[in-house]
Chain A
Amino acid sequence: MKAIREWLDDRTGYRHLLYEALYENVPGGSRWRYVWGSTLVFTFAVQLITGMFLWMAYSPSSTNAWESVYYIQHEMLLGWMLRGIHHFTAQAMIVLLALHLMQVVIDGAYKAPREINFWLGLILLKIVLGLSLTGYLLPWDQKGYWATKVATNIAGITPVVGDQVQKLAVGGLDYGHHTLTRFFALHAGLLPALLVFFLVLHIYVFRRHGITAPDDEWQGQRDTTFWPDQVLKDGVACLAVLATVLFFVVWHGFNSGSGAELGAPADPAESYSAARPEWYFLFLFQFLKYFPGESEVIGAMVIPGAVVGFMFLMPFTGRWKLGHRFNVLFVFALLAGVGVLTCLAAKEDRANPEYVAAVKAADTNAERVKQLVELNGIGPEGAVHLLRRDAKTQGPKLFATHCGVCHRFDGHDGSGKVPTETATASDLGNFGTRDWIRAMITDPAGDKNFGATKHGSWNGEPLEDRFAGGAMAEWATENVKSGQMKKEEIDGVVEFLIGQAVAGGGRRDLDPPLFDAEATGKEFFASGSDNVTTSCYGCHEMKIDDELFKAGSDAIAAAPDLTGYASEKWLKEFIGNPGDKKFYGKRNAMPAFAGTLTDLELQMLVDWILHRWQEPQK
């Protein structure tokens, strides 16, 4: 064994190298306060290792990036943990960088002859921030996408070259495949290579000058060597960092079933009000709020540039005793400023109901897309299409945009917001259910039904009593409110119409009609009874068992054909063209949506109103 070591040492000189690495003199003995640099090297090594393994499963393209990260997270063995460690170690690095910087400035380790090493450290700091920024985009989820859009747009306002810088970063006019390939090459190739290069220089220069021991405190204490005393302290510190990271990973995994957050897939068409940078960039985000209009460049570049520029000059200002004190104060003030801005940003967001709602919606979408992937798998066009074609996700938005102007849905506009304006059409929250039909018979002029139309107008004409005091309302006053129509008859018509909805198809949400009551209802619908003025088909047309019941000759006014009422098909036709003569004809006061909505949109809207969407099987 000894002979082999001799042979190897003779050829390589490894003993000297080991000696240089391990037996550096530590003046005044090993200290806990010297561990920061080592923990940073350690976290970088963790990022290299985990990053390399993530690389083996990651695919940088706009149809595959999110999907491959999803695969790492949910399908690969310990993939969630791998991703979690990479995610949280990145954040640990930022914290450790701040601590390392403070340590260096407080101890005056930036002063001559260590100026160059201080500058190398500042360069390393910028590289690490660059790694964070580029890494944030790679999962190609809504959060990363919109945050990066903001970051690259800010780069775009750089005087003179901004436009070019932005196009080069984005890899073209818009965000897509080449944004990912470029960011990935920066994140996994160029920036780590630069970091290794500057780190080697940093450590070399550090070793050249040795540890900065404040002589007043350290006076008279025994010197030691790096190995094993300081190595042990460094090791314990690294273990503490690792334990902290693992704690966050497991904690996050326990809370959300994943080691690191993965939002819904990036969708340029889907605005994302919850877009925020990673927490350690929040101060910059907040800072920009104070620079109105054209002055943004001052907040985004001039001031941060001046701050970093001053830090580069600190070795010179630190030559004077007061200068050093000023530098220490400056770094503390800077970190305090960053802290205050970060808190302000968080506080403003917490107090902003729209932001809170956006975060909640983002979580809902992230959870929903996971369900959809589990139910359907991911097709060649990528996971974003799962959400784009999902009635549960798109329905509320379509309703809010197209229907919520007049109608309500359980009192809100479909998306959950309660409009301040009064509704001018019915509340469709329970459309086509037993409650809905019953209300239409017993109280058609109620506020949640035709009553709301009193406040509306059509083609500039107020609707007033067109529906609120229309034939149905009159019929109900004469026959139902007066108590003429019997309870069995009402129940019967309800069940009969439910039968129409169920038979018409697409209503999984309804229990099938009660048989006897349905028969009663059918009889009443066609013939009425002695105690009512006219039967339903006096106005409403219907095909029963292939026999067409023409609206009676004494029809008061056009009323909708109730064949297959409130079924998927009926509702689609109705929304498509409510003014058709089989619906409201000339009395109609609702826009036809056949040309406004695409077939897919109409289908999703109808599916949503009828509660038809995919749910995971229990």
Chain B
Amino acid sequence: MTEQTTKEAQTRDAIPRRSFTRRALAVVIGGVTGLVPALVGLASFLNPLRKSVQARQRPDGFDAEGFVKVTRLEALAGESPGRFQIIANRKDAWNTFPKEPIGAVYVQKVSDTELRVFNVECPHAGCSVDYKADKRGFLCPCHNSLFAQTGKRSETSPSPRDLDSLEYKIQDGDVWVKFEKFKAGVKEKHAT
């Protein structure tokens, strides 16, 4: 031990034992004063985890069953699937943006009553997949996940599941889609 540290240790030890209560009090009071503002801040920081907040952040402007009109059936001619924007009232923290694109879907006509409808987001990491006519499938530009027209992923794809198909209905020649987003990166399809 150097001379200095010895001296320091002596000063420390010179503080009377009875000061234990004072030490404890000092620690407790100091802790409380520091914690109060930190905890209040932390509460507001955790705000996005509240269910009620999440509910208010969901877009609206859908029909009672949650469907939104996307296109006319006759617009779905041709071999390739068409890409359509989903227009709804977007909620962004304090703002509401009426009638804005909130996402997009691929729609392909199989027959007059049967369609294939996919959310354009790759289930791997959420990039937007492109339809490649030469591959007759969807290719993700990020990590090269490849999906068939049916949405089925190729075996070598990094994506943990097939493209997310969406519910649809056809009414008076209009195509309606129940637009949902799903958690990326997991095998199961969980709506977020």
Contact check, B94 vs A76: say whether CB atoms are below 8 A apart.
no
The CA-CA distance from A19 to B8 in the complex, in Å, is: 7
Contact check, B12 vs A23: say whether CB atoms are below 8 A apart.
yes
Query: Which of A67, A225, A239 contacts B95, CB < 8 Å?
Result: A67
Contact check, B44 vs A239: say whether CB atoms are below 8 A apart.
no
Q: Contacts A85-B37, A225-B15, A228-B22 hold; do A77 and B44 have CB atoms under 8 A apart? A: yes
Query: Which of A85, A225, A231, A242 contacts B11, CB < 8 Å?
Result: A225
Chain B residues whose C-beta falls within 8 Å of the C-beta of A235 in the assembled complex: 25-26, 29-30, 33
The CA-CA distance from A239 to B43 in the complex, in Å, is: 21
Contact check, B26 vs A77: say whether CB atoms are below 8 A apart.
no
CB neighbors of B among A49-87 (8 A): 49-50, 52-54, 56-57, 64, 67-68, 70-72, 75-79, 81-82, 85
The CA-CA distance from A380 to B98 in the complex, in Å, is: 9
The CA-CA distance from A57 to B50 in the complex, in Å, is: 15
Proximity bits, A20-49, B CB within 8 Å = 1, else 0: 000100000000000000000010011001
Query: Which of B11, B15, B29 contacts A239, CB < 8 Å?
Result: B29
Contact check, A71 vs B19: say whether CB atoms are below 8 A apart.
no
Q: Contacts A42-B33, A379-B98 hold; do A82 and B15 have CB atoms under 8 A apart? A: no
Chain B residues whose C-beta falls within 8 Å of the C-beta of A15 in the assembled complex: 5, 8
The CA-CA distance from A77 to B37 in the complex, in Å, is: 14
Contact check, A68 vs B44: say whether CB atoms are below 8 A apart.
no
Give the residue name and chain of the A residue nearest to B38 (CB). A49
Chain A residues whose C-beta falls within 8 Å of the C-beta of B22 in the assembled complex: 228-229, 232
Contact check, B41 vs A242: say whether CB atoms are below 8 A apart.
no
Is B154 in the interface zone, CB < 8 Å from A?
A: no
Contact check, A232 vs B29: say whether CB atoms are below 8 A apart.
yes
Is A238 in the interface zone, CB < 8 Å from B?
A: yes
Contact check, A239 vs B33: say whether CB atoms are below 8 A apart.
yes
Give the residue name and chain of the A residue nearest to B95 (CB). A378
Contact check, A57 vs B44: say whether CB atoms are below 8 A apart.
yes
Contact check, B93 vs A23: say whether CB atoms are below 8 A apart.
no
Q: Contacts A68-B94, A238-B33, A380-B97 hold; do A49 and B41 have CB atoms under 8 A apart? A: yes
Interface residue total, chain A, C-beta cutoff 8 A: 45
Interface residue SS majority, chain B: helix
Proximity bits, B96-110, A CB within 8 Å = 1, else 0: 111000000000000
Q: State the Cβ distance, A84 to closest chain B Cβ, in Å.
A: 9
The CA-CA distance from A45 to B35 in the complex, in Å, is: 11
Is B42 in the interface zone, CB < 8 Å from A?
A: yes
Give the residue name and chain of the B residue nearest to A84 (CB). B40
Q: Contacts A71-B93, A378-B94, A379-B95 hold; do A231 and B30 have CB atoms under 8 A apart? A: yes
The CA-CA distance from A246 to B33 in the complex, in Å, is: 11
Contact check, B94 vs A75: say whether CB atoms are below 8 A apart.
yes
Chain A residues whose C-beta falls within 8 Å of the C-beta of B41 in the assembled complex: 49-50, 52-54, 82
Chain A residues whose C-beta falls within 8 Å of the C-beta of B45 in the assembled complex: 53, 56
Proximity bits, A245-274, B CB within 8 Å = 1, else 0: 010000000000000000000000000000
Contact check, A79 vs B47: say whether CB atoms are below 8 A apart.
yes
Is A481 in the interface zone, CB < 8 Å from B?
A: no
Contact check, B44 vs A76: say whether CB atoms are below 8 A apart.
yes
Is A417 in the interface zone, CB < 8 Å from B?
A: no
Contact check, A72 vs B11: say whether CB atoms are below 8 A apart.
no
Proximity bits, A359-383, B CB within 8 Å = 1, else 0: 0000000000000000001111000
Chain A residues whose C-beta falls within 8 Å of the C-beta of B32 in the assembled complex: 239
Is B191 in the interface zone, CB < 8 Å from A?
A: no
The CA-CA distance from A56 to B33 in the complex, in Å, is: 22
The CA-CA distance from A3 to B33 in the complex, in Å, is: 32
Q: State the Cβ distance, A180 to closest chain B Cβ, in Å.
A: 15
Proximity bits, B46-66, A CB within 8 Å = 1, else 0: 110010010010000000000
Chain B residues whose C-beta falls within 8 Å of the C-beta of A227 in the assembled complex: 15, 23, 26
Q: State the Cβ distance, B192 to closest chain A Cβ, in Å.
A: 20
Chain B residues whose C-beta falls within 8 Å of the C-beta of A379 in the assembled complex: 95-98
Is A236 in the interface zone, CB < 8 Å from B?
A: yes
Contact check, B23 vs A228: say whether CB atoms are below 8 A apart.
yes
The CA-CA distance from A238 to B34 in the complex, in Å, is: 9
Q: State the Cβ distance, B87 to closest chain A Cβ, in Å.
A: 15
Is A16 in the interface zone, CB < 8 Å from B?
A: yes
Contact check, A229 vs B19: say whether CB atoms are below 8 A apart.
yes
Contact check, A82 vs B44: say whether CB atoms are below 8 A apart.
yes
Chain A residues whose C-beta falls within 8 Å of the C-beta of B97 in the assembled complex: 379-380
Query: Which of A16, A76, A89, A380 contacts B5, CB < 8 Å?
Result: A16
Contact check, A53 vs B44: say whether CB atoms are below 8 A apart.
yes
Chain A residues whose C-beta falls within 8 Å of the C-beta of B5 in the assembled complex: 15-16
Is B77 in the interface zone, CB < 8 Å from A?
A: no
Chain B residues whose C-beta falls within 8 Å of the C-beta of A228 in the assembled complex: 15, 19, 22-23, 26
The CA-CA distance from A45 to B5 in the complex, in Å, is: 31
The CA-CA distance from A227 to B16 in the complex, in Å, is: 12
Chain A residues whose C-beta falls within 8 Å of the C-beta of B23 in the assembled complex: 227-228
Q: List 25 A-B pairs, Cβ < 8 Å.
A: A15-B5, A15-B8, A16-B8, A23-B8, A23-B11, A23-B12, A45-B34, A46-B37, A49-B37, A50-B41, A54-B41, A57-B47, A67-B95, A68-B94, A75-B56, A77-B50, A79-B47, A227-B26, A228-B15, A232-B26, A235-B29, A236-B29, A239-B32, A239-B33, A379-B97
Given A16-B5, A53-B44, A57-B47, 4 more pairs with CB closer than 8 A: A68-B94, A78-B44, A82-B43, A89-B37
Top 6 A-B pairs ranked by shortest CB distance?
Answer: A53-B41, A235-B29, A78-B43, A377-B96, A71-B94, A232-B26
